[in-house]
A and B are shown apart, each in its own frame.
Chain A
């Protein structure tokens, strides 16, 4: 099965010499920029709220990884199923779930996407084909296989995009799921977000195989690596692999290289990596890179960026206000949805 590395180098600065012209419209380019900015600002405000004690439990920030969610959503069809791990705010925002309803969920309010019953790690919006964030590492991967089975069984043209981290490729469920999907040639695109660290464990200490995409080859899957901090490369890679899955070529695996600029979750003292490494990756910030790319290619001016930033600021501000003013779920909500009420 063909295995190839991405055409852009890992962690490059995205200089213009890599492509002759930018195959994206101004409208798209600015949409993607705004979407990434929205995720970044949302995560900043969520972090603040957590530090103020307004958000409890676990909070896993997507800061620095925005290009993956935005590139991916730009490539998928709106009715393709998406299912992800617990660092899930970015995907929901990128697909257009309202920031206020996500913030309310993180605040544990009744107006949240899951009614306050799920929290940060369990965002879902089935109306937008987002089937959840999941807290058990790798626990959602078999579900993705099942969603893909349902699509194949019902002869639909949709695919499933399942996202997980590189750490999840070491758990049994990853292997049994990839194998099952490959045996049945299911329309499943798995995106491995390789941000180099599974909590505090760098990938070389956890995985016998450092290039995670090579694990797809064990199951005969077409597997590729891409620079996850390049939103255009992400869009192109996901588009190509999604079409292959959609055409019935079987499951696909995409390893997206990235880095989280914050800790694993709130309260992570980050003793496992040095500040120098974090600073180096800040130089490859996907948002700055894309902004520069748009400006260099005359698709945007600095004023556009400022304008979008102001819009994002207002949107996230409103989201926080909405979350703070929303009511907590009433006691009866605790007892709802344990079972489906049968109609008979």
Chain B
């Protein structure tokens, strides 16, 4: 198996699906001639041409809406939004059309599209450093996927493209360069299935996307101190696959959600509520959550460095939880 970057894995998924099915195409800002602002689609314009790697005007409402309409009309669009922040421009189309056309018309219409966009940050300022997975995971009719590894990214994106359901696929700009084992050729992974990425018996860490890597790094450090953390990668945020989480909590009796988003009404709130309700009797502590500082993201490098959960914060939190 070859080692590939998260970026390359995503490109491979799209390329293989486009070769497999001529109805699959990409549309978005700078996906074509520029080669993608995060280089995800690099080379694809030369291979597939302007019709199937389609540059759009700056108009996320029209990008998403046209992708939904094209899906209704029989195609399988992949709409790339330059960042998940810009999804707000098109959020009416995501929530009111993408999520609902199959339902409102009694099943007559399908919307088999994927809207993909990266979350991320890096002194980009408050409006370019957000993530809205909790907003989309809130909505019946949507499926929300956030892969943390190159292997998961390729398999899940292929599954998403083949799915007849409308899917929001959130990548992470700071994961694009991360390497991992990715098979050549065709494989898919099941949407709606979490995965235990590291076994352990002292605490269950529930996480996803970039925080998976932060949690795994913390788990390595914690192991040196005799604390074995079980790390579960949710991978899909709607629907949430809680079964492996519950199995884990029955063993560890402690749960911590590590998320790279604001605490209030974030994914952790939902996950914690479910754990607290469904496996209450197995918990020795309340479910804890480590999240982003509850402010807009500042520009200054030193301040931004304090914003997000990191290895040190996870180690400290777990240590305090296991200590009690």
**A binding-site residues for B, Cβ under 8 Å:** 81, 112-118, 122, 124-126, 131-132, 134, 136, 139-151, 153-154, 172-173, 176-177, 179-180, 183, 336-340, 342
Contact = CB atoms under 8 A, between A and B. Distances in A.
A246 to B, nearest CB: 16
B56 A180 contact: yes
A179 B66 contact: no
Interface string B158-180: 00000111000000000000000
Nearest to B56: A180
B123 interface: no
B71 A146 contact: yes
A173 B65 contact: yes
13 contacts: A114-B108, A142-B61, A143-B69, A143-B101, A145-B62, A147-B72, A150-B70, A177-B62, A180-B56, A180-B66, A338-B141, A339-B143, A340-B112
B69 to A, nearest CB: 2
A114 B106 contact: yes
A154 B74 contact: yes
B106 A115 contact: yes
Contacts of B102: 337-340
Contacts of A125: 108
A142 B68 CA distance: 8
B65 A146 contact: yes
B96 interface: yes
B187 to A, nearest CB: 13
Given A114-B106, A147-B70, A337-B107, A172 B57 contact: no
Contacts of A116: 106
Given A340-B112, A342-B165, 14 more contacts: A81-B73, A124-B104, A124-B106, A134-B97, A136-B96, A142-B61, A145-B62, A153-B75, A176-B57, A180-B59, A336-B107, A337-B103, A340-B163, A340-B165
B69 A142 contact: yes
Contacts, number: 144
Interface of B: 25, 51, 56-57, 59, 61-62, 64-75, 77, 92-93, 96-97, 101-110, 112, 140-141, 143, 163-165
A144 to B, nearest CB: 6
B289 to A, nearest CB: 28
A150 B109 contact: no
A149 B105 contact: no
A77 to B, nearest CB: 16
Contacts of B72: 131, 143, 146-147, 150
A68 B101 CA distance: 26
B131 to A, nearest CB: 23
B321 to A, nearest CB: 36
A148 to B, nearest CB: 8
A114 B163 contact: no
Contacts of B112: 340
A247 to B, nearest CB: 19
Given A139-B92, A142-B93, A122 B73 contact: no
Nearest to A180: B62
Given A136-B96, A139-B97, A142-B61, A342 B66 contact: no
B104 A117 contact: yes
Given A81-B73, A114-B104, A143-B69, A124 B109 contact: yes
A172 B70 contact: no
A81 B72 CA distance: 11
Nearest to A341: B164
B225 to A, nearest CB: 44
B188 to A, nearest CB: 9
A153 B109 CA distance: 19
Contacts of B67: 146
A265 to B, nearest CB: 18
A122 B61 contact: no
Given A115-B107, A147-B70, A142 B65 contact: yes
A136 B77 CA distance: 23
B165 A179 contact: no
Contacts of A149: 66, 69-70, 73, 75
A99 to B, nearest CB: 18
A149 B51 CA distance: 10
A179 B104 contact: no
B278 to A, nearest CB: 21
Contacts of B59: 176, 179-180
A338 B109 contact: no
Given A126-B105, A136-B92, A340-B110, A153 B65 contact: no
B111 to A, nearest CB: 9
Contacts of B74: 150, 154
